[in-house]
Structure 1
């Protein structure tokens, strides 16, 4: 009770409240004011649309068309900032206060640039440049080997030449070299000419025997970017099938094992090889009875005089290779073996007959007279038995 009365009598007078004089409260108020004013950011005082572009807007933003084709380009100015106009060297322009349309009935220029512009409220000229690409597909594409004189030599570097005629623009040309279905190299043009011109592309290639008769070709295409046609025709050259010369390469071992053969048998020595031009064959033999120009040397009946070394030389205009055969002729012991076998058989038969005649016959049958055998019809006198 006393405490309540004391507080009533000693009441402290109230002071006026000013938020901006309180540091923490002032910070909160400031942030709240900034938040309320944020939607007004970027508001143009002129009263035009806040999303309008100051520059003229072109549709399309980049024009890509074939020489001789037609096209339409639209230029727009947002709001009432000004009336758009086109600066151009051909075609006609139609439109209204906010839109201009450039109509090209037939493109007849290669190097052309168009500008859409207008004068804003402050008297400044606002412009947008329209890039224009005029293209033409290659008229012809061909491929050849540089310094190709009827044939190429294996293992040598040669140059493939792909020639592309009358195409534009030069900077967008891409050429690809092929061997069969395998791409060898892709090259981009380094020229910047906008008018049609012919170009040549070179590829250094190491020729091998596997390239003999293989098809080589190249193709040319224009890559005009996303704004241009995405499926332009690809112009392809014809095939070139080179003749490649290479030295003989053996199809058999170069160092065969020594050959042992029995006298009287047939002998076949093979030194076949692959080469271009077709290789020729010469043989060096222990006996010089006849010459052979075949890849296979045949001896029908081998004798001891055929023993020795045989050398086959395979050659053409690109080189040569040799194969050496060492032949060892051995005697045929078959007749001696047969004779020995026959002699042994005869000896066994004769021995068996003699054994039968002198040992087996007397012991089993006793002695008898052939005359008695023939006179069996006569009466015989019984012989009394001994006690």
Structure 2
């Protein structure tokens, strides 16, 4: 429907104007070019031109009137602005211009909000310090939305700003949120939100704005627990109270717990009172704070010191421990000997006997003490039998099968009875010694340790599958080399996995096939575990070593992919399958329905027979001597060999006597004869013609057919009589 407010033009011409379209105007001016007005107000705009010879000028708008207010000016007048999404424009039809010109008026219609309110989302009552809360500001019935700015205030300080990207020009409701995390200092604070309409320099100043009523918040915090220390020390049988304070609003209630049981302080401490205590402070919520209380006391009875049997020529150890706070110190009394050494480690005292002899038997006493008291215990040490050593072999940071070509580390753990002066570790694969490593423990000061390890790095190979590794440790307890001990590990059996290797002798990179024949592509792969073999060609997939091409055609030549895969890796080979056979084709030329010499002026038909395989395009070129005289092209989409015929009409003259004709077939095949060529040119044999003059027929033309026949009959009769 055509809707324009026009000056001096019919409705029919207006509809023609709307159908033919508009051009951007350079002949129109608007005053003002932009209007910002509130909904329901009155506005007007002038449109003028410098063009004297125009057909029509007016305004297009859904409301208002267009009045001519000057010889070259029309004015759009709206008394009550009630349409929101208007795009008024001034237009002009200039003589001798095919299309009218149009200039739109920028019009912004606004409406201040009916109301602005602030609230808390999903929350009522006091807020908790440190928690996140969401304030929401609701703006009712405002336009245009894209010109609204929401400002947040805490007291008189702006704390947030929100703009809106909606393009709606009609009144709408807006919602904005503000995340806050109040502190105790915010108790009693007031939050407000204000909606402003920023309509640009043409809009009202100051900016229209509506402020919400204030939102008062109450902030609760705590309880907060502060202790002088996280660890407290008490003396056994003395009263004690932890030094802790609690703050919070409202004032919290304080309770102490130990293992879930209420405890009251001050308290007389015992050994069992040591441990963790929980201070619980409760108000609108609760807080807990753990503290550790240790109780100091004198050493209790000696532990781990028992009657011991020692081995001659080896080392022995006596162990003495006690429980006390602070940790106890130790003192030993024992039979005098030069091979005794005392070592205190982690509140335990160790008495080492080096190279035990009969002088080390007797009574040993250990005393544990601290500043609160002491305790003692004695044991009897006797001579016993010799202990044994052992060796074991493992793979470092690996389990399961090995992968070919990967380096692994084997470790030989040797457990022995100290002291040992010298150890040699021999490595074997089967019965073959691979390596030896020696350890001189007396020089390194480690002769009292009871274990060591030796490592061997190996690169796995498929030939090692099922191999056995072992290590042999030779121990020399005494410096003089006597009493050598040899221990052998259990064998370590290894399994070696290796990636697939495709046999390229049976699968070359290029495989020629012959059209119409079967071809089997063979992909053999060696690997452990045995690989899975998959053939893929285009979207077709075949499992197994063989891919059979039942009948070689253009559609099944190309790139074939063999993929051999096992748990180690994947091997891929791409095979190019090509057609290599040469076509059985021939071209021949003949005369249709005629043999012998030709007669001048008569018409004859030459025929070119082309026997070729499947092709895309055939061109037949006719030559007379060395001159091309005709050309014919046609296609054949059949897949089998075919005979193609091409004919040529000729009417020879006596000058053509002895002329030579040939036909040449240019073939564009559906396959490649070789790697670089897909077309073929084939020539026929030469067809030579003999042409006789046509004058011997003029007798018939002169006397006519009837007279000529009579003369022939008479001459024939006369000849017969003469012969008779």
TM-score by length of 2: 0.30
2:45 matches 1:73: yes
- 1:86 & 1:165 partners in 2: Cα distance? 34
Give the superposition deviation at 1:195: 1.4
Give the superposition deviation at 1:149: 2.6
Give the superposition deviation at 1:96: 2.9
- Give the counterpart of 2:178 among 200, 203, 228: 203
* Partner SS, residue 205 of structure 2: coil
Aligned match of 2:220: 245
Aligned match of 1:190: 165
- 2:35 & 2:100 partners in 1: Cα distance? 23
Q: Which moved more, 1:55-64 or 1:83-92?
A: 83-92
- Give the counterpart of 1:121 among 80, 86, 95: 95
Gaps of 5+ in 1: 1-52, 257-268, 289-310, 325-387
Give the superposition deviation at 1:235: 0.5
CA offsets, 1:193-224, max 9 Å, x none?
11111111122222333322211111101111
Give the superposition deviation at 1:88: 1.4
CA offsets, 1:52-73, max 9 Å, x none?
x833111111111001111110
Aligned match of 2:62: 89
* Partner SS, residue 84 of structure 1: strand
- Give the counterpart of 1:162 among 133, 137, 155: 137
- Give the counterpart of 1:54 among 9, 26, 29: 26
- 2:26 & 2:52 partners in 1: Cα distance? 11
2:279 matches 1:279: no
Return the structure number with greater helix share: 1
Give the superposition deviation at 1:79: 4.4
Cα RMSD (Å): 3.0
* Partner SS, residue 187 of structure 1: strand
Aligned match of 1:381: none
- 1:213 & 1:226 partners in 2: Cα distance? 39
- 2:114 & 2:249 partners in 1: Cα distance? 37
Aligned match of 2:147: 172
Give the superposition deviation at 1:184: 1.9
User: Is the CA contact 1:138–1:166 (under 8 Å) kept in the aligned structure 2?
Assistant: yes
2:116 matches 1:141: yes
CA offsets, 1:173-195, max 9 Å, x none?
11112212222221111222111
User: Is the CA contact 1:254–1:323 (under 8 Å) kept in the aligned structure 2?
Assistant: no
Aligned match of 1:215: 190
Gaps of 5+ in 2: 1-24, 230-242, 257-263, 269-277, 292-724
Which structure's relative contact order is higher, taking Cα pairs within 8 Å and 6+ residues apart? 1
* Partner SS, residue 210 of structure 1: helix
- 1:316 & 1:122 partners in 2: Cα distance? 90
User: Is the CA contact 2:227–2:244 (under 8 Å) kept in the aligned structure 1?
Assistant: no
CA offsets, 1:303-335, max 9 Å, x none?
xxxxxxxx99754233347799xxxxxxxxxxx
TM-score by length of 1: 0.55
User: Is the CA contact 1:55–1:128 (under 8 Å) kept in the aligned structure 2?
Assistant: no
- 1:81 & 1:141 partners in 2: Cα distance? 55
Q: Which moved more, 1:94-103 or 1:68-77?
A: 94-103
> How many aligned positions are there?
237
2:107 matches 1:132: yes
User: Is the CA contact 2:59–2:90 (under 8 Å) kept in the aligned structure 1?
Assistant: yes
CA offsets, 1:17-47, max 9 Å, x none?
xxxxxxxxxxxxxxxxxxxxxxxxxxxxxxx
User: Is the CA contact 1:244–1:276 (under 8 Å) kept in the aligned structure 2?
Assistant: no
